């Protein structure tokens, strides 16, 4: 069961931090922390494909036909949610952390912004994010959380149409880091 801990209101939108499993979220869309290949992986990617079933991968394969070099870091595409509660999955690719000097902060912000822009374009009123890049891609979560929340808040201040944005953290530790970041930004 999710523990809804912290939330803030930005205009007509609510930003909510929860501890839980992103594949269980009932928002209109959930965001996958994918890789450029879009053929699945571990972590969030593995959980989404495992629980969502083959329809998600089949749509990823069709998308890949138009992206011979793969999905660029920071870009976002949408597929069905398959067997998930969420109707759609937005796949985005976060940056791999390599010390912070190769544009990682801006690429991470782009992944959040482009996912939100795509959700808005598709008419999705609610969306769930994982903590992109802070697992296998090694992005320090203290830094990533401030970029994640900062870019989402900035987007909501400029754009109407999304009612609820959830950050679904997989551990109490990660939730605490995001809570501290939100206190700094709110």
Residues found near ligand APR in the complex (CB under 6 A): 21-23, 33-35, 41-47, 94, 130-137, 168, 170, 174
Structure tokens at 169: 């953290």
What is the closest distance, in whole angstroms, from the C-beta atom of residue 153 to ligand APR in the complex? 20
Of the pair 106, 157, the CB lying nearest ligand APR is at 106
> What's the CA gap between 97 and 136, in Å, rounded?
9
Output the CA angle 79-84-89, nearest 5 degrees: 25
Of the pair 37, 161, the CB lying nearest ligand APR is at 37
> What's the CA gap between 162 and 154, in Å, rounded?
13
Catalytic residue status for 45: yes
Residues in Cβ contact with 69 at an 8 Å cutoff, skipping those fewer than 6 apart: 36
Please pick, among 2, 45, 55, 69, the residue that the annotation labels catalytic: 45
| CB neighbours of residue 107 within 10 Å | 20
Of the pair 5, 159, the CB lying nearest ligand APR is at 5
What is the closest distance, in whole angstroms, from the C-beta atom of residue 19 to ligand APR in the complex? 9
Of the pair 22, 90, the CB lying nearest ligand APR is at 22
What is the closest distance, in whole angstroms, from the C-beta atom of residue 12 to ligand APR in the complex? 26
> What's the CA gap between 73 and 96, in Å, rounded?
9
| CB neighbours of residue 81 within 10 Å | 23
Residues in Cβ contact with 134 at an 8 Å cutoff, skipping those fewer than 6 apart: 140, 141, 144, 145, 174
What is the closest distance, in whole angstroms, from the C-beta atom of residue 158 to ligand APR in the complex? 25
Active site residues: 45
């Amino acid at each position: 069961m999710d523990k809804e801990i912290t939330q803030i209101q930005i205009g007509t939108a609510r930003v909510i931090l929860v501890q839980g499993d992103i594949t269980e979220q009932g928002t209109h869309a959930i965001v996958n922390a994918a890789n450029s290949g879009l053929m699945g992986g571990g972590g969030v990617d593995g959980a989404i494909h495992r629980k969502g079933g083959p329809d998600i991968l089949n749509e990823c394969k069709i998308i890949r036909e138009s992206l011979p070099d793969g999905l660029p870091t920071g870009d976002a595409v949408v597929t069905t949610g398959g067997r998930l509660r969420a109707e759609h999955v937005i796949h985005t690719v976060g940056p791999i952390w390599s010390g912070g000097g190769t544009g990682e902060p801006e690429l991470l912000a782009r992944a959040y912004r482009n996912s939100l822009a795509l959700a808005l374009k598709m008419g999705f009123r609610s969306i769930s994010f994982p903590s992109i890049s802070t697992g296998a891609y090694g992005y320090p979560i203290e830094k990533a959380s401030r970029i994640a929340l900062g870019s989402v808040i900035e987007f909501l201040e400029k754009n109407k149409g999304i009612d609820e944005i959830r950050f679904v953290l997989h551990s109490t530790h990660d939730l605490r880091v995001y809570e501290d970041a939100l206190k700094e930004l709110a």
